[in-house]
Chain A
Amino acid sequence: MKRGEDLLLSSRSIRKRMVESILLITAIALGIGAAGAGIAMMAGTAAESQKLLSSPEYREIVVSIREDTEEMDLPVAAVDDESDLVLTTLDLKAAEEAPDVQYAYVASHTIYHLGDFRGFGRGQPPQEGQAAPDPAEMPEIEELEGYAVSPEFFSTWSMLAAEGSLFTNADMATGEPLLIYGSELAADMDGAVGEQIVVEGEMVTVIGILEPTGTDYYKMAFSPAFMPDLQMNDMRAMRRSWGTTLRFAVADVERLEEAREQLESYFSRTYGAGSVVISIPRAEAEAAKVRANRLATVVLFLSLAGLLIAAVNVSNILYGRAVRRQRSVGILKALGASMRDVFRLFFSEALLLGGFGAVLGIGISVLLSKLMESTLGFEKISAGVLGAGILGAWAITMALTVFPALQAARVPAAEAIRNE
């Protein structure tokens, strides 16, 4: 029998049993859609974890004296609140005593408050003879998020200036208030190189705008980290330095723990045991990766279970359909159909239903993938992975339709004709 007749009979059969066919197509679509999305989520999670852990940040050891875990977003042990220790760029020399450390820099998370708040408890106190301003007249605070960094930060993250320039050690030594905008921040603020803005009452000069970085740094501002030769009684400098975070990166992540021990040895010897918090962000990221992978595995399991349930139901309904059509099978055999012809006819029908279901399933998978991209922050999910997932799910569904087609083909002709 030619394919044309198979398709003709299959399409007529589908049309004749329209409600049942719609249910079958829906089941196939949901199964394929769920499985495709589950596989995409698994792949997306794995890719995202890999990308996350390949970030320079996760080859680093962070040294700080702060215990503000929320602000630092790091797991730290409690430290001595009474400590008056201030970390500076000078402490980067710890790297010299830690052979596993490849490079070191300062990157302290900072919030820059724009405007002049002197007299409102921010910036400098009111000058002598000047009346204290009315708190009701305090201007609205606009904040910029960013980091106080040493120049090595930019080279470590491969950041380049799209406009203007980056800090140098010489810039930092002057103690001049300077600022660099991330690319999106500059666009948002309509900022330009050379402009001056007031940050907590201090005039700050913007010296550069970064090229887009592909990280969250594109929406942040950067100022020079505190230099040790500045006067410690300079309140602004003190405040800036209070949260100084030193970062030490290793070339080989397997050596993170060794490097941490080397640094701990240096800081214990220099400032006393327990005076600084030394943490490894990678440990937390790896734990998060394990959690995310487990969650994705559960979702994948549920989606594959959904696929299997849908496929088994499709197979079951098609089997019922084959049983109801035994008489037709008998007639076909009487007219000259072989078992192979009958199998091909029933499988063609399953393929046709599977084709419609797959088209809908692709739609569902793509929609769910887009949802994942937007809500889970995944990068664009690979069409190849999604396609392979959909193809695999479709193949599983179709494999289960072989059984009813075989059953239909194997019914003896005389027995099939006797069945009404």
Chain B
Amino acid sequence: MIELKNIEKRYDLGEVQVKALEDVSLHIERGEYVAVMGPSGSGKSTLLNILGILDIPTDGQYFLEGYDITRLPDREQARIRNKHFGFIFQSFNLFSELSALENVMLPMSYAGMSSAKRRERAVQLLDEVGLSHRLHHLPTMLSGGEQQRVAIARALANQPSLILADEPTGNLPSDKGEEILTIIEELNRRGVTIVMVTHNDEQGLRAHRRINIMDGRLDGDERLVSSRAAARSGA
């Protein structure tokens, strides 16, 4: 599904050049559950941003479903992010001026879905994450766990094939974090590919594959369980 070839990301900070990623190559199959681990500043989030085409590599190539999407026009990048990817952030990143329902409806508006369909699907998604009673609440009226569940519902709005989660439980107490992980794992069992950045070893061990990043380089790529086997066990 995803193939990165010799990806490099450098930042020019005046006279100094910082290498955030160096010669990263990896292949992620459809349906995998990948944990990206590594210390702070190692390049995990940069890798996630490149995977989600929120950032463009300085060098190397990015193939999605066999197509080179390394350098696409802005509108095409936006379309891919909208249709194929779902993002879950550590700090939820909901729009505080919009209700839970409106937040979930937002990505569907970029997909050109009608208002009625957006509303119907948003209600269904919020129901699936257990928030049917919080449709019209603003994010400030929701707990952290509820906000992250709204964010998950939003990420699923356009039925993405890949969920990119950047420390999704980082801002939550452990019990709420567990609820979120359970939802994410359930999504994976349904066939959605998950790439999750985490600091948490325990969470890393729950993934089917663990990629370690150290100083911008791929430091380890360990398959904990085959995705096919995991899918079978889920079924």
A residues in contact (CB < 8 Å) with B:
1-2, 4-5, 8-9, 12-13, 15-16, 327-328, 330-341, 412-414, 417
CB pair B96–A333 under 8 Å, yes or no, is no
From known contacts A2-B109, A12-B97, A336-B110, infer whether A414 and B78 are also in contact, taking CB-CB under 8 Å. Answer: no
Partner of B97, one of A9, A339, A341: A9
Q: Look across to chain A and name the residue whose beta carbon is closest to the beta carbon of B106.
A: A335
Partner of A338, one of B55, B78, B89: B78
**Min C-beta distance of A324 to chain B, whole Å:** 13
Partner of A5, one of B85, B89, B96, B106: B106
A122 to B49 alpha-carbon distance, docked (Å) = 103
B115 partner residues in chain A, CB cutoff 8 A: 2, 4
Partner of A9, one of B49, B98, B110: B98
B52 partner residues in chain A, CB cutoff 8 A: 334
Q: Look across to chain B and name the residue whose beta carbon is closest to the beta carbon of A409.
A: B74
CB pair B96–A336 under 8 Å, yes or no, is no
A15 to B95 alpha-carbon distance, docked (Å) = 14
A337 to B98 alpha-carbon distance, docked (Å) = 17
**Min C-beta distance of B58 to chain A, whole Å:** 13
Per the 8 Å Cβ criterion, residues 68-85 of B in contact with A are: 74-75, 77-79, 81-83, 85
CB pair A414–B97 under 8 Å, yes or no, is no
In terms of DSSP, what is the predominant structure of the interface of chain B?
A: helix
**Min C-beta distance of A322 to chain B, whole Å:** 15
B78 partner residues in chain A, CB cutoff 8 A: 333, 336-339, 341
Partner of B54, one of A4, A341, A414: A414
A338 to B75 alpha-carbon distance, docked (Å) = 5
A334 partner residues in chain B, CB cutoff 8 A: 52, 54, 81, 85, 87, 93
Interchain residue pairs A-B with the least CB separation, the first 10: A336-B82, A12-B97, A338-B78, A336-B110, A414-B55, A413-B54, A414-B49, A335-B107, A414-B54, A334-B87
CB pair B109–A333 under 8 Å, yes or no, is no
From known contacts A5-B109, A413-B55, infer whether A335 and B49 are also in contact, taking CB-CB under 8 Å. Answer: no
B109 partner residues in chain A, CB cutoff 8 A: 1-2, 4-5
CB pair B89–A417 under 8 Å, yes or no, is yes
A413 partner residues in chain B, CB cutoff 8 A: 49, 54-55
A336 to B96 alpha-carbon distance, docked (Å) = 18
- Residue pairs across A and B with Cβ atoms less than 8 A apart, 23 shown, are A9-B95, A9-B97, A12-B97, A12-B98, A16-B96, A327-B93, A330-B54, A331-B95, A333-B81, A334-B87, A336-B81, A336-B158, A338-B74, A338-B79, A339-B78, A340-B74, A340-B75, A412-B54, A412-B55, A413-B49, A413-B55, A414-B54, A417-B89
A107 to B167 alpha-carbon distance, docked (Å) = 96
A12 to B102 alpha-carbon distance, docked (Å) = 12
A215 to B235 alpha-carbon distance, docked (Å) = 97
B44 contacts the other chain (CB 8 A): no
From known contacts A15-B97, A328-B95, infer whether A336 and B54 are also in contact, taking CB-CB under 8 Å. Answer: no
**Min C-beta distance of A336 to chain B, whole Å:** 2
A310 to B177 alpha-carbon distance, docked (Å) = 49
